[in-house]
Amino acid sequence: MSVSFKSVDHLITAQYRQEQAMLEAFANGSYSVESPYVKLNPYIVCPLSAVIMFNTEEEVEVTLTVKGKEEAGNITHTFPKTKEHRLPVMGLYGDYENTVVLKLSNGVETEVKIQTAPVQDNIGKCTYINTTSEYMQDNIMFTTPAGEDYAAGYDYNGDCRWYLTEPFIFDMKRLKNGNVLIGSNRFIGKPYYMAGICEMSLCGKIYKEYRIPGGYHHDQFEMEDGNLLILTQQAGAATAEDMCVLVDRNTGEILKSWDYKKVLPQDKGKSGSWSEHDWFHNNAVWYDKRTNSLTLSGRHQDAVINLDYETGDLNWIIGDPEGWPQEMVDKYFFTPVGDGEFDWQYEQHACVVLPDGDVMMFDNGHWGSKDPAKYVLSKDSYSRGVRYRINTEDMTIEQIWQFGKERGAQFFSPYICNVEYYRDGHYLVHSGGIGYYDAKPTQVLPAFLDTKDPKTKLQTITVEVEDDVVKYEMHTTANYYRAEKLKFYHEGTNLELGEGQLLGHMAVTEEFLTEVPAEDTGLLLPEINEGKFINEVDRIIFDAKFERGQLVMLQLESMTNDDVHRYFVPTTKQTFLAMCAGTFQESDERVVKFNVNKEGLSGIFKITVIVDDKKYQTGVVVNL
Amino acid sequence: MIKEITNFEEFNAVANQGKVLVDVYSKTCGPCKMLGFVLADLEKDMPDAVILKVDFDRNKEIVEKYDVASYPTILLLQDGEEVKRLKGLQQKPVLKQLLEA
């Protein structure tokens, strides 16, 4: 058989099935607090988590402690009174017999041993940590993928206490209900577009996947009413990463959208990584209630822009005015003031509007100029966290704080990264995209380096500064998109049982209108193409290998009438000037992955493939 | 009418007269092959339209004159002057609209 076909459940379905099996096993056994039911990795994707279940005759509180390798490593949480105890356990160590202590409010105390497997290889390893347990307490520094290494969480000692085994990527933020929002693990298109975002418990359970027709990239933001701002683009459009949508938290429907093409020229203020397709490269969104506005970072125009939330009108632009039309410079740009040092940001990430209206961001400093003649080499570059104070009355800007420039190229990340604001003077600066080749700062983006080459070295440096004193510094062996300090447990419901929800919808996949004249060989797709079809709840993924430049057309031919749905499958090698998550790069450039979304399709179809002038059967029939 | 161009002079002779659609393509490119079928289909609907096919690798003077950096690229010319440029594979309605505009 030269073509394979398999159906794969959505993770929400697989997790629910496992949860039901778990509950059934618990119901059929005789478990007690002395001998509770224990399930390691209950939600499939989070191997350093577990669930402990038991019932008590009386309502009692339970204080659960995952014992650290030393006392400072203890992670403790008290669950509210109940008779039915379904306790998520988070923060286990890998390759270790963990001890979990359960202390009931009626005085009963017991210990549970949980043996874990070694942490998998594609998790960044902490190579340096400088902090104290007093400072970090039971906080965990979570990092999210920018490459082959998956999301992970590290304690005060640099020990990995959490990781995911699926590529959930980009931003991870805690929601008001205590869950986290993170990019979905379902890749939909190059270079790094995902089906949407997931609301997840830190024990790996997905409560909701919000699907976005144009896909998700980079960042999201929870509004005060719980609705979600999500970065996307118009499905099938000629340009990318230039749109934000507001999504209903309960239904997943899109309530409002902002298209930056309406307010910005696409060919002005170009950064060194600009391209016609990815002209803005929106990598962050922030809503500011005080001014009822959206602040958006556009890497490829070296610009942080502010839009009126209601009208979408442009209010201001933070950035080097070189290369912009004078009428825009006069109207929207700021003039630096003050006696202190001032530098514009280049190819920045993660803009944050502070309570007083100041704007912080990670200034990657990539290229270091708008003028190609003045581009700065990596070895001479710097990255930093920076805080600007803006005055929108007289359109002036002052740099009031920065961290990182003084470290030079050793802190230089040409891509990704973030800053976090805790209070005035207390910040996180995550330089997550550092790369060396042959001991020199790489001139190409680290995402494009061959990690199997011994001369390649990737690094993250995550720093927390409090009143100009470095209180925390961690280095890892990966590139990580962002870092976010969170506690495992929160005051809300740490684990809700029941099936998760798939919300929103995928786009209708664009069909090709022209028929390709091809000889019907009657044969199966040749083995050399290694054709595979993966059937998911909302899409069919075609995964195969073709030589560059071959004409490939995927066809869904109705079994009941003459309808044919035709999809052009690109085989051209694409070159990207940005690769914020190299997680889905293929080492074999013949690999083609093409999605046909089920949205808008109905009927029974056989799937055929045209390769150049020949049509092949696949033996695959789908009922949609 | 679809005409395969073989040299600069031949191109100029046709391209400088009225509205002309130029398809700059490469034989090694999947989208270019597909665009070839789209143009053949378009020709059936618009037999009077002038469509010139220019092989990117064999017509450097044309490529340089119009500063074409990638293929497929569609150029709409009016008396030899570029009026509109589309990059990448296009569907028939888009091209039809372009010629009708």
| Model confidence pLDDT, tens digit, residues A108-125 | 999 999 999 999 999 999
| Model confidence pLDDT, tens digit, residues A385-405 | 999 999 999 999 999 999 999
Confidence check: pLDDT of A608 > 70: yes
What's residue A272's pLDDT?
A: 96
Please indicate whether residue A236 or residue A412 has the higher confidence score (pLDDT): A412
Confidence check: pLDDT of A575 > 80: no
Which tokens sit at A600?
A: 């808008």
Closest by CA to B34, choosing from A613, A525, A146, A542, is: A613
Residue A389's alpha-carbon distances to A336, A353, A383, in angstroms, are 10, 10, 19
CB contact (8 A) between residue A568 and residue B31: yes
Query: Per-residue confidence at A549, pLDDT binned at 50, 70, 90?
Result: confident
Where along chain A do its domains lie? Answer: 31-115, 126-504, 519-623
Pick the CATH number of A519-623 from 3.40.630, 2.60.40, 1.10.3470, 3.30.310: 2.60.40
Which of A238, A276, A568 minimises the CB distance to B34? A568
What does residue B89 show for φ and ψ, rounded to 5 degrees?
-65, 135
Best B26, B37, B43, B85 member to test A by mutation, with max A CBs in 10 Å, is B37
Confidence check: pLDDT of A574 > 80: no
What's residue A548's pLDDT?
A: 86
From B2, B29, B46, B99, the catalytic residue? B29
What class does CATH assign to A126-504? mainly beta
Residue B72's CB is within 10 A of a number of other CB atoms, namely 26
**Closest-CA residue of chain B to A575:** B70
Mean pLDDT of A474-480: 97
What does residue A376 show for φ and ψ, rounded to 5 degrees?
-100, 135
* Segment among A199-213, A342-356, A458-472, B77-91 with least mean pLDDT: B77-91
Alpha carbon distance A484, A464 (integer Å): 11
State the sign of the Cα–Cα–Cα–Cα dihedral A494, A500, A503, A509. Answer: positive
Closest by CA to A184, choosing from A503, A594, A569, A489, is: A503
What's residue A190's pLDDT?
A: 86
Question: Which chain B residues are Cβ-neighbours of A512 within 8 angstroms?
Answer: 34, 91
Burial of A583 (0-12, 13-18, 19+ CB in 10 A): buried
Is-same-fold flag (A31-115; A126-504)?
no
What's residue A589's pLDDT?
A: 80
Confidence check: pLDDT of A200 > 70: yes
Mean pLDDT of A77-82: 98
Complex prediction ipTM: 0.88
CB contact (8 A) between residue A572 and residue B30: yes
CA-based nearest distance A234→chain B, Å: 17
What's residue A588's pLDDT?
A: 75
Q: Is B84 on the interface with A (CB under 8 A)?
A: no
CB contact (8 A) between residue B31 and residue A513: no
Confidence check: pLDDT of B101 > 90: no
Confidence check: pLDDT of A152 > 80: yes
Mean pLDDT of A266-275: 97
Closest by CA to A285, choosing from A270, A302, A298, A266, is: A298
Query: Per-residue confidence at A1, pLDDT binned at 50, 70, 90?
Result: low
Q: pTM for this one?
A: 0.94
Mean pLDDT score of chain A: 96
A31-115 CATH: 2.60.40.3100
What's residue A593's pLDDT?
A: 92
What is the DSSP secondary structure assignment for residue A72, as one 8-state letter? G
Mean pLDDT of A284-297: 98
What's residue A577's pLDDT?
A: 65
Mean pLDDT of A289-310: 98
What is the DSSP annotation of A152-213? EEE-TTS-EEEE-SS---S-EEE-TTS-EEEE-S-EEETTTEEEEEEEE-TTS-EEEEEEEE
Element (H, E) at A19: helix A11-28
Which of A514, A553, A570 minimises the CB distance to B41? A514
Q: Is B32 a catalytic residue?
A: yes
What's residue A576's pLDDT?
A: 65
Confidence check: pLDDT of A46 > 70: yes
CA-based nearest distance A547→chain B, Å: 10
Beta-bridged to residue A532, according to DSSP, are A4, A543
Mean pLDDT of A129-155: 96
Confidence check: pLDDT of A579 > 90: no
Which of B29, B31, B37 minimises the CB distance to A514? B37
| Model confidence pLDDT, tens digit, residues B6-49 | 999 999 999 998 999 999 999 988 899 999 999 999 999 999 99
Query: Per-residue confidence at A581, pLDDT binned at 50, 70, 90?
Result: low
Residue A273: strand, helix, or coil = coil
From B32, B54, B75, B95, the catalytic residue? B32
CB contact (8 A) between residue A549 and residue B93: no
Domains of chain B: 2-92 (3.40.30.10)
| Model confidence pLDDT, tens digit, residues A123-140 | 999 999 999 999 999 999
Beta-bridged to residue A126, according to DSSP, are A476
What's residue A314's pLDDT?
A: 98
Q: Is A551 on the interface with B (CB under 8 A)?
A: yes
What's residue A590's pLDDT?
A: 87
